[in-house]
Amino acid sequence: MTTKQLKSLDTVVIRFAGDSGDGMQIVGSEFGNTAAIVGNDLATFPDFPAEIRAPAGTLPGVSGFQVHFSANEIFTPGDQPDVLVVMNPAALKVNRGDLPDNGILIVDTDAFDARNLKKAGYEQSPLEDGSLAQFRLFAVPLTSLAEKSLRDVEGLTTKEKRRNKNIFALGMTYWLFSRPLDNTIKWLTQKYAKKPQHVEATTTALRAGYAYCDASEAFQVRYEVPPAPSQPGLYKSIQGNEALALGLVAASVKSGLPIFYGSYPITPASPVLEALAQYKNFGVITFQAEDEIAAVTSAIGASFGGRIGITASSGPGIALKGEAMGLAVMVELPLVIINVQRAGPSTGMPTKTEQSDLLQAMFGRNGDAPIPILAARSPSDCFEIGFEAVRIAIKYVVPVLVLSDGYLANGAEPWKLPHKFEDLPDIPVHFHTDPKGFEPYRRDDVTLARPWVKPGTPGLEHRIGGLEKDRLTGNVSYDTANHQHMTDVRAEKVARIVADVPDLEVFGDESGEVLVVGWGGTYGAIHSAVRRCRSDGISASQIHLRHLNPFPANLGEILGRFKKVLVPELNTGQLILLLRARFLVDAIGLNKVEGQPFKVREIVSRIQELSA
Amino acid sequence: MTTAMDGPKLTKKDFVSDQQVRWCPGCGDYAILSSVQHAFAKLGIPRHKIVIISGIGCAARFPYYVDCFGFHTIHGRAPALATGLKVSRPDLSVWVVGGDGDMLSIGGNHLLHALRRNVGIKILCINNRIYGLTKGQYSPTSPVGTVKKSTPMGSIDRPVNPISLALAAEAGFVARTVDVFGPHLQETLLRAAAHEGSVFVEVLQNCLIFNDATFSNVTDRASREDNVLYLEHQKPLLFGAGGDKGIRLNGLKPEVVRVGEGGVPESELLVHDEKDESLAYLLSRMEGDGFPTPIGTFRTQEHVSYEAAAAQQVRTAREQKGEGDLMKLIHSGDVWTVP
């Protein structure tokens, strides 16, 4: 056996790409989980088509999963891969443009037959025409090696054995980056607990891939990426949708109000429904409604009954919920509406990320119908935002809108777990029960919240509805001055939530050349870009909005301290419209709608231009 | 389940709210409102345990006029909102009131799913075959050829039969009654209230302004006996003056026959059975052609209600996993420690 070289790297981006049916999402997320256990900082980016199984071997069927893992603190899944694993010619064609010169390219040669080459539009094999010479190419017959390694496993067809090529490839990458196998073996053992032959096959294939590299002359160098320094504590890797569901449950426990979650399946919001359906022992009721409108109206009915009503969807579904959200504004009940945004308009690109529903969130209802809006900035932040949305909804007796997006929903990062129950804020709940002098719309002096009254409370029988209400009795009123008053008070009530919105903290200089203002899932890319510019000596600063309505109290003042304000958004310019309207600031947009997150370098180069 | 209360007996007056009723003079809704208030007083359920949910339309103003909890929501969505309430609060008696446009047109989807899920809500569909609040356009129950402002040459779409639809939608309790048949209406509501699971009651109603006399064959005193068939469980299908007519099955088709002297003996008549699916559907299709309009309960079926099943799953989950422990949940999975 030859002695292999071991090199240490600070940070690596690896991308797995193959057919939709090749199991790229599984190996990608497992690679990420192992990186987390090893103690690397990490960020993941699954990128897959909307079709469950597009025709095998074709370009539209290519599915990818990128993992950025590092010995330092990182904020994005990386602009481009250092290592690319491709399972067929189509995956090579789609992804090779992203791989820099001298990048590591691992290819399953078994898939490079005439049929697959033709489907991917190759006239001759790129493995043979020298067109991959700029890469460190490892051409390996993954499929047949996987099959051979399972020669002695009984109870599997040849086809089933060959399907383990993805796990074999994972084993190879574990060798390449000196990763332990045990975490993935444990996971596979649990996943296939009811199919022991699959446990044997997958774990054997994983070890075989690892052993192959160890033995192969081709692999002379392996790498290690040491753990990243982190604050002491308990961590786990979490995706945005998972974190959101946990945040909602945490708020439910803290408030003592069980969740009613009305939802209609939609990409990319469905995993929240699926997660909450696991938590029935917390009293959660999940209601898979007949449509988006029933999902939101059933949640309003639940809130009327004294639960915390929650509904979630993506842009198209939120459009359908608009009228009911207006009803919730009118009757002033707590409600949480979650929009896991995707590329639009219309059906758009369901599995691709975008932030183009901000103005829909602000204004997408008939009449003057203001709703507080919160937006998560990272996968683990979805926990905090979900929790906070419930807290505000209950405190102000008001519907609250949460914006997430496909990038946050499916991406993962290490999450420092709240240690004790007491670490989470309390959520006091007050149901009005006193019939003496009861008026359904008599408000709290500070929050302007109206009393929340559960049906079933003796002596408090009353009627509410979508018709304009008298300012105190809640009875139907067409009085002109009353409508003016009620419109004003609904706006004022949302404005007063600013008392619960923390002031923004500026990252970087408190005043200066360029301020980069973002919101939602672009936090990581903007933060990385601003750090990089600052280390290059550019005066760049960052603020990031998690509260979009009302804005933090100090936003206007901060904007005024900088010469230039740059607003990167994955839309054609929505926050910038609000900032310009509200603060008369001559902000500059950086806009992209390609269904992909920002690359750090895209933001860096715009900052450089502005500061030149 | 709602439980009877201990306390003073309620009367109709207890259910009259302080809001001025704003229906047109002579509207059939007045009679229905009065019957509902009478029936609610007899339910043995305290006022604060009763909730009326409505959508949009003339009938949907109902909640404002009944002194219990009420929610006037948005067009067509009342069954969905009521579902969320009933699942959250099975202890409440939840009623949904709406018209044919609200329930069968814009809200058709929610009606279908609330019924088939067997949510324990009592849906009253007040059918006058017209859009009243928008001033007289034809509705999904208007007969073909209905000439109204939006259909000057007559409507061309075939109407929906609310009872057939409710039966097909698997409603647990399906009945029809009439605005001016006070005692029958009240009796139907009391039976509806006692049923666990979804309830659909069609109430034939007269809109004096835009569609007067649409059900006059049923309501005219002179012709009523010949045109109305009262359905009673385990009783033969008799109607007409002194019960001189009946319904007999000829092959798979019903026919009207003379009963008694010179006619067929009662023993040959169809006997109503509320548990018989096929009979219920057959009766729901009887319209015109000399057939009477059936009034009463078409079908009842007993299945576990949606809200009971949902609550059972929560109990089962707690038995299997224990009461939810938040920190245990957050700290579960692949967790690592940074010292």
Report how far residue A109's alpha carbon sits from residue B107's, in angstroms, rounded to the nearest whole number: 57
Give which of B72, B106, B338 to mutate to test A binding, by max A Cβ within 10 Å. Answer: B338
Residue A167 structure tokens? 């796990």
User: pLDDT tens digits, residue range A451-471?
Assistant: 999 999 999 999 999 999 999
Nearest CA in chain B to A286: B310
**A42, A508, A529, B193, B276 from A535: Cα distances, Å:** 21, 11, 10, 73, 81
Q: Is there a contact between A263 and A338 (Cβ–Cβ < 8 Å)?
A: no
Rg (CA), chain B: 23
What angle, 0 to 180 degrees and rounded to 10, lies between the N-to-C axes of helices B28-42 and B182-194? 50
Helix/strand/coil percent split, chain A, to 5: 40, 20, 40
Question: Which of A235, A456, A463 comes nearest B72 by C-beta?
Answer: A463
Residue of B2, B50, B56, B77 to mutate when probing chain A, most A C-beta within 10 A? B77
> Is residue A148 classed as helix, strand or coil in its secondary structure?
helix
**Would the pLDDT of B177 be above 50?**
yes
Spatial CA neighbour of B73 closest among A335, A325, A396, A441: A325
pLDDT tens digits for A306-322?
Answer: 999 999 999 999 999 99
Q: Is the minimum CB–CB distance between A255 and chain B shorter than 8 Å?
A: no
Pairing of strands A41-47, A62-70: antiparallel
Please, which residues have CB within 8 angstroms of residue A469's CB and are 6 or more apart in sequence? Answer: A330, A440, A441, A475, A476, A477, A486
Q: Where are the alpha helices (DSSP H) in A452-495?
A: 480-495
Residues of chain B contacting residue A460, judged by C-beta atoms under 8 Å apart? 48
Tally of CB atoms within 10 A around A237: 24
Nearest-angstrom CA–CA distance, B49 and B51: 7
**Which chain A residue shows the shortest CA-CA distance from B78?**
A297
Q: Give, in order, the Cα–Cα distances in Å from B206 to each of B28, B59, B85, B180, B281.
A: 5, 12, 31, 9, 25
Residue ranges covered by each domain of chain B: 12-224+272-306, 236-271
Return d(Cα B56, Cα A465) in angstroms, integer: 10
Quote the pLDDT of residue B3. 47
What are B124-164's pLDDT values in tens digits? 999 999 999 999 999 999 999 999 999 999 999 999 999 99
Nearest to A350 by CA among A340, A363, A360: A340
Share of chain A above pLDDT 90, in %: 97
Q: Does A277 touch chain B (CB under 8 A)?
A: no
pLDDT at residue number B339: 85
The residue of A190, A239, A257, A298 whose CB has the most chain B CBs within 10 angstroms, and thus the best one to mutate to test that interface, is: A298
- Which residues, 6 or more positions from B324, have their beta carbon under 8 angstroms from its beta carbon? A249, A253, A279, A281, A282, A283, B318
Three-class SS string for B244-260? CEEEEEECCEEEEEEEC
**Mapping DSSP to helix (H, G, I), strand (E, B) and coil, where does residue B277 land?**
helix
Selecting from B69, B82, B89 the residue whose C-beta is nearest the C-beta of A461 gives B69
How sure is the predictor about A52, in pLDDT bands with cuts at 50, 70 and 90?
A: confident
**CB atoms near residue A11 (< 10 Å):** 17
Query: CA-CA distance, A272 to A35, in Å (whole number)?
Result: 25
In this structure, the number of other CB atoms found within 10 A of the CB of residue A180 comes to: 11
pLDDT attached to residue A2:
57
What is the arithmetic mean of pLDDT over A543-570?
Answer: 98
pLDDT at A50: 87
pLDDT at residue B7 in the model: 63
Q: Which candidate from A233, A331, A455 shows the least CB-CB separation from B69?
A: A455
Residue B121 token pair: 């809500």
CB contact under 8 A, A37 and B334: yes
Residue A544 and residue A515: Cα distance in Å, rounded? 10
**In sequence order, which residues have a C-beta less than 8 Å from that of residue A459 and are 6 or more positions away?**
A435, A438, B48
Cα–Cα separations (whole angstroms), residue A132 to A88, A118, A140, A308, B329: 15, 18, 14, 57, 48
Q: Residue A347's Cα: distance from chain center in Å? A: 19
Interface check A300 vs B, CB under 8 A: yes
For chain A, domains (ranges, CATH) are: 5-224 (3.40.920.10), 236-423 (3.40.50.970), 512-611 (3.40.50.920)
Distance in angstroms (rounded) separating the CA atoms of residues A58 and A115: 10
Residue A324 parent element (H or E): helix A315-331
Contact yes or no for A520/A493 (Cβ under 8 A)? no
CA distances from A181 to A144, A152, A192, A438 (A): 22, 21, 17, 65
Spatial contact of A587 and A580, defined as CB atoms under 8 Å apart: yes
Which of B48, B81, B314 is closest, CB to CB, to A285? B314
What pLDDT is attached to residue B6? 55
- Secondary element (H or E) of residue B203: strand B199-204
The number of residues making up chain B comes to 339
Residue B57: both structure tokens together: 């339309």
pLDDT at residue B5 tops 70? no
Question: Is-contact A4 A221, C-beta < 8 A?
Answer: yes
- The two tokens of residue B292 are 């009477």
Pairing assessment for the beta strands A399-405 and A373-375 based on DSSP bridges: parallel
Spacing of C-alpha B149 from chain mean position: 29
Which residues from B are below 8 Å from A384, CB to CB? Answer: none
B2: pLDDT confidence band, cut at 50, 70 and 90? Answer: very low
What DSSP letter does each residue of B283-323 carry, written as one string?
Answer: HHT--STTPPEEEEEEEE-----HHHHHHHHHHHHHHHH-S
CB of B299 closer than 8 Å to CB of B274? yes
Cα A145 → chain centroid: 36
Domain B12-224+272-306 class?
A: alpha beta
| Cβ of residue A262 closer than 8 Å to a chain B Cβ | yes
What pLDDT is attached to residue B289?
Answer: 85
Distance CA(B323)–CA(A282), nearest Å, equals 6
Chain B residues with CB under 8 Å of A306 CB are: 88-89
Average pLDDT along chain B: 96
* Contact indicator for B33, B65 with CB cutoff of 8 Å: yes
Q: Cβ atoms within 10 A of the Cβ of B81, count?
A: 33
CA distance A526 to A543: 9
**Contacts A456 to B, Cβ<8 Å:** 48-49, 69, 89, 91-92
φ, ψ dihedrals at A379, nearest 5° = -55, -45
Q: How far apart are the first and last CA of chain B?
A: 54
Inter-chain contact B113–A294, Cβ cutoff 8 Å? yes
- In this complex, do A305 and B85 lie within 8 Å of one another by their Cβ atoms? yes
Mean of pLDDT values over A422-434 = 97
Q: Please tell me the distance from the alpha carbon of residue A562 to that of residue A515, in angstroms, as a whole number.
A: 6
Mean pLDDT of B35-58: 97
Structure ipTM over 0.90, yes or no: yes
All residues of chain B having their beta carbon less than 8 Å from the beta carbon of residue A234 are: 331, 335-337
Is residue A583 within 8 angstroms of chain B, CB to CB? no
Q: What is the pLDDT of residues B187-224, one digit of tens each?
A: 999 999 999 999 999 999 999 999 999 999 999 999 99
CA distance B89 to A247: 24
Q: Band of the pLDDT at B1, cuts 50, 70, 90?
A: very low
Distances (CA, A) of A135 to A105, A132, B304: 6, 6, 65
B48 contacts on A by Cβ (under 8 Å) = 455-461
Three-class DSSP category at A415: strand
The full DSSP string for A560-595 is: TTEEEEEEEESSSSSHHHHHHHHH----EEEE--SS
Query: Does residue B294 have a cis bond before it (omega within 30 degrees)?
Result: no
Out of A25-29, A84-88, A572-576, B261-265, least confident range = B261-265
A289–B70 C-beta distance less than 8 A:
no
What angle is formed at CA A223 by the lines to CA A217 and CA A227, rounded to 5 degrees?
155
**Is A51 within 8 Å of chain B by CB?**
no
Q: Which helix (H) or strand (E) holds A67?
A: strand A62-70
| pLDDT value at residue B130 | 97
Q: What is the pLDDT of residues A336-373, one digit of tens each?
A: 999 999 999 999 999 999 999 999 999 999 999 999 99
- Burial-class residue A277 by CB neighbours within 10 Å (0-12, 13-18, 19+): middle
Chain B residue whose CA is closest to A304 = B85
Rg over alpha carbons for chain A, rounded to the nearest Å, is 27
- Answer for the pair B29, B58: CB distance below 8 angstroms, yes or no: yes
**Closest-CA distance of chain A to residue B89, Å:** 6
Q: How far is A5 from chain B (nearest CA, A)?
A: 29
For the stretch A261-277, pLDDT in tens is 999 999 999 999 999 99
